[in-house]
Chains A and B, each alone.
Chain A
Amino acid sequence: MKTIREIHDAFDAGTTSPLVLTKKYFDAIAQSRHNAFITVCESRALEQANRLTDELKSKHGGKVPRKAQPLFGIPLAIKDVLTIDGVRTTCASKMLENYVPPYTATAVKKLEDAGAITLGKLNMDEFAMGSSNENSAFGPVLHPTHLDRVPGGSSGGSGTAVAADLCVAALGTDTGGSIRLPASFCGVVGMKPTYGRISRYGQIAFASSLDQIGPMCRSVEDAALLYEVMAGVDPFDSTTANVPVNGAVTAPITKGLRVGVPREYFIDGIEPEVKAAIEGMIEKLKAEGAQIVPVSLPHTPYAVATYYIVAVSEASSNLSRFDGVRFGVRPKEAIEARSLSEFYKKVRANFGTEVKRRIILGTFALSSGYYDAYYRRAAQVRRLMRQDFEKAFEQVDVIVSAVSPSTAFKLGEKSKDPLRMYLTDIFTIPASLAGLPAMSVPVAEDAQGLSIGMQVIAPRFQENVLFRAGAAIERLAQVGVAS
């Protein structure tokens, strides 16, 4: 499996081409049993690949235009929560099984403008709600190497597709850990930028104040490349920040790096092998000259509860538009409805169980008389959590922890117990609530060969620090430097 830089070198050498590579990926997708893709865009992708292969010779003299088009000829796959003009976009929901958007998401447009080829749309949890990718109307995605296990969610298709070499890199979206968790379970690098860094225009909203698009890749360097292409202010998204991106730097840094270790993230429920792997990497960092600083994030115990109020409240609102009038399916029994409210009931019965659960919870939390006790209170706690991080970052450059208390679990293992499922995201949720950039870097495997990811969190808009620390961890994990 090659990185983007290696593929570009191969293009330069003429040993492969965008077209050859693209065809190779369609073969791999056809043979894969992972159910990672919902829609494959073969003719569209081959057209892009053909054009780029021609241009490589005719326009660029056989040399990849790395500066102008940093993703030249690179086959990517896109989580099916992002729109592409003319390409079916389902959000893994029955509600949108026939939805073809008339416009392209800003992030996808930027990738394609940078020369990327879009192989297709990736499976996910319905409306990005889930931690195992079992909540898809198109069936669950399987773990890349252990087919009886989940890839993590909600960007499970993205994690599996990258790990199983069904694309070079993928886009995921992260609301409470939906990039970092599958990256950790699948053994790839997954990065969630600062809230406001990448335009959400064209990302079908789950929880608008938390949603962020991010890359899932084979290396920190690849992730930085995709990030840099997508980052920046967008007039179509008022929540994007006008903060300079300054290019993504991935030179590993350990010496003098102040690494915070939050005591609240080393709890009882964490699997011993996961704990050992994270502690082992912390030791390696220390051995390489990093300064390890114990920090405290005292409001961490409230994170999951806070998240499940904010996220479901926003979701209940965002998903209102799927009412069968313009968006959402309109089954026969809905057409025969005798009143408008009966019509809505019949249409909205077509959401999956988890989505329905969250809409109901969110509707309740925003109801008159409950708003102050739930949504307003959650917003207040959220501010406190942000302050926790601000205080910690006065002492440290990055904070590290496990991504999840466990490695990839078996299909069906937690799907009947929503509360246990929600706790899978216990370590990723705080950075989401605080809007901080965070990343999952594979650091080890457990005895069964299941990947363990380390989470790195940086201050707002300090993605460069995040990449440099991530690159150091990636290097240390690969060379296996012993403490």
Chain B
Amino acid sequence: MIDPSTEFETVIGLEVHVQLATESKIFSTARARLEPGKSVADEVVNANTTPVDAGHPGTLPALNRKAVEYAIKTGLATSCRINEKSVFSRKQYFYPDLPKGYQISQYDQPLCEHGFLDLELGENGDRTKRVGITRIHMEEDAGKNVHLAGFSLVNLNRAGTPLVEVVSEPDMRTSEEAGAYLRKLYSIVTYLGVCDGNLQEGNFRCDANVSIRPKGATQFGTRVEIKNVNSFRFVEKAIEYEAERQRQVLLSGDRLVQETRLYDSQKNQTFSMRTKEEADDYRYFPDPDLPPLMIASDTIEKMRAELPELPDQKRDRFMNEFGLNRYDAGQITSSKAMAVFFESSVTAAGASHGKVIANLLAGETTRLLNEAGVEIAATAFQPRHFADLAKLISEKTISATAAKQIIGILHSAGSAVAADVNEIVEREGMKQVNDLSALEPIIDGIIAANPKQVEEFRAGKEKLLGFFVGQAMKATQGKANPAMLQELVSKKLKGE
């Protein structure tokens, strides 16, 4: 029996399937990539196939060089070693969505190995952790079974779609770390442009291996694999649920079984799919139809030189160039779309406005986007909006509070309205009152109306300054320049 006061730690390793954004499939000329703006549901069933994808007898795979390039770039961007020789193997099992009866994958000789990701953790992203990447290998996707009343159909449009599987070391200890790892990896593959990053369409799918062990133990506990969770938040929740479930099992004196479980996001539970005893023997062997994949070292170096600026590099540059703090810079660079948007806004406004723009984007804008679950590129926001806002703020024409409100207005206006920030400011009467002569009588009035508080303030209760500023702000309907107002109120109270 385990001591009920035992403290456990969770051990997490992640396997992520990243769909590569090549035009054609990994081993055939069939279309692999969705047309912009379309979803899988829009495609004619089995239209995106050639005899190769359907596994017709006598067909052979011919490797898509672009897919190899994308896989290598993924490896380079995650600090992997790229193997000059890698081997495609057949993973064999019977299932209706697998037309050949085997999946072409890489087994004992993968393309990339021994990489890592550096994660930023904690409220401000200032705690860092390095998570190892065991390997990245290439493989083809299977088709999809569609179950109808009394029968099932197979759609092979997805069969042969190029994937890389990124396998981490079991280095993560909390769901937060797992979430940070997934977001970092996601941002890297979308920065590289090797993945379209469409989570709904399964472009980026995660299996989590979760075990627990008493804190300080060196041996791993019994591992459970949670399959195919396609949202970062659900991965975090599934891990939390699973770690707690395992703890309960151990504390109740039972043993854990090595198994594959599925996560039900509606119930926030995992349930058993199959145990290890039921697991297939995949009978891997090198695919005789594909010679070993040989990559010359100068090809690897050429690709390394061609890598675009990655999120971490961009974050550091933004910090240096625009004086952003680590948190804002991290927020802005976590998505490529956001980083591009930021840079366009800064270009429109001038570099001196970088910090203000970053603030607006990392704060209120990100909050609204997360709430709506959309990328900035898919909204009505335009870089010029933020350039205008930044200018108005630094000219003291509007307050930061007003800027927030304007962002809200722009967001809810939707894309139908070609909104203009200056117009909104005019329409809503948001101009800040910077005029001393306009503020003076208001402040005088408030001082006259609150003699008791004035007396207390003058007797030393300095925090009452806030009371007077608040009253004055209220009287100006929030339009007063806060810095100016504060200074003026203070002067007046002190009788200066």
Contacts and interface: CB of A to CB of B under 8 A. Distances in A.
Interface of A: 82-83, 89, 91, 96, 99, 101-103, 105, 200-205, 207-209, 235-239, 313-314, 316-317, 319-323, 325-327, 340-341, 344, 363, 366-368, 371, 375
Nearest to B286: A379
Nearest to A313: B285
Given A201-B60, A326-B99, 19 more contacts: A82-B58, A83-B57, A103-B51, A201-B58, A201-B59, A205-B58, A237-B60, A238-B60, A238-B291, A314-B288, A319-B101, A320-B100, A321-B99, A323-B94, A323-B96, A363-B283, A367-B281, A367-B283, A368-B281
A319 B154 CA distance: 20
Contacts of B92: 317, 320, 366
Contacts of B63: 238
A101 B57 contact: yes
Given A101-B57, A102-B51, A320-B102, A209 B154 contact: no
29 contacts: A83-B58, A101-B51, A101-B56, A103-B51, A201-B58, A201-B60, A202-B58, A204-B58, A207-B288, A208-B288, A209-B288, A238-B290, A239-B60, A313-B285, A317-B90, A319-B101, A320-B100, A321-B57, A322-B57, A323-B96, A326-B54, A326-B55, A326-B99, A327-B56, A363-B283, A366-B285, A368-B281, A371-B283, A375-B285
Nearest to A205: B58
B61 interface: yes
B55 A327 contact: yes
Interface residues of B, number: 29
Nearest to A341: B94
Nearest to A326: B99
B62 interface: yes
A82 B58 CA distance: 7
Contacts of B94: 320, 323, 340-341, 344
Nearest to B56: A101
Contacts of A207: 288
Given A201-B58, A320-B94, A320-B100, A326 B285 contact: no
B289 interface: yes
A320 B58 contact: no
Contact of B58 (A105, A319, A326): A105
Contacts of B95: 340
A38 to B, nearest CB: 15
A368 B99 contact: no
A404 B389 CA distance: 89
Contact of A103 (B56, B284, B290): B56
Interface in B90-146: 90, 92, 94-96, 99-102
Contacts of B54: 326
Contacts of A323: 94, 96, 101
B58 A236 contact: no
B57 A96 contact: yes
B62 A236 contact: yes
Contacts of B58: 82-83, 89, 101, 105, 200-205
A203 B59 CA distance: 8
A326 B290 CA distance: 24
Contacts of A236: 59-60, 62
Contacts of B291: 238-239
Contacts of B90: 317
A239 B288 CA distance: 8
A317 B51 contact: no
- Is chain B's binding surface mostly helix, strand, loop or mixed? loop
A349 B59 CA distance: 24
A375 B108 CA distance: 15
Contacts of B289: 205, 208, 238-239
B57 A327 contact: yes
A289 to B, nearest CB: 41
B25 to A, nearest CB: 14
Interface string B50-87: 01001111111111000000000000000000000000
B55 to A, nearest CB: 5
A232 to B, nearest CB: 15
Contacts of A82: 58
Nearest to A209: B288
Contacts of B101: 317, 319-321, 323
A336 B407 CA distance: 62
A313 B51 CA distance: 24
A235 B55 CA distance: 17
Contacts of A205: 57-58, 289
Contacts of B60: 200-201, 236-239
B51 A371 contact: no
Contacts of B55: 321, 326-327
Contacts of B284: 366, 371
A371 B92 CA distance: 14
B102 A317 contact: yes
Contacts of A316: 283
A224 to B, nearest CB: 25
B57 A235 contact: no
A28 to B, nearest CB: 29
A237 B287 CA distance: 13
Q: Which 4 residue pairs are nearest across A and B when measured between Cβ atoms?
A: A320-B101, A209-B288, A208-B288, A366-B283
A367 B280 CA distance: 10
Contacts of B51: 101-103
Contacts of A341: 94
B270 to A, nearest CB: 24
Contacts of A200: 58, 60
Nearest to B290: A238
Contacts of A314: 288
A398 to B, nearest CB: 27
A207 B289 CA distance: 10
Contacts of A327: 55-57
Nearest to B287: A208
Given A89-B57, A320-B92, A368-B281, A235 B62 contact: yes
B55, B59, B62: most-surrounded residue (chain A CB, <10 A) = B59
Contacts of A204: 57-58
Contacts of A366: 92, 283-285
Nearest to B280: A368
A99 B57 contact: yes
Contacts of A235: 62
B285 A317 contact: yes
Nearest to A105: B58
Contacts of B290: 238-239
Contacts of B99: 321, 325-326
Interface string B282-308: 011100111100000000000000000
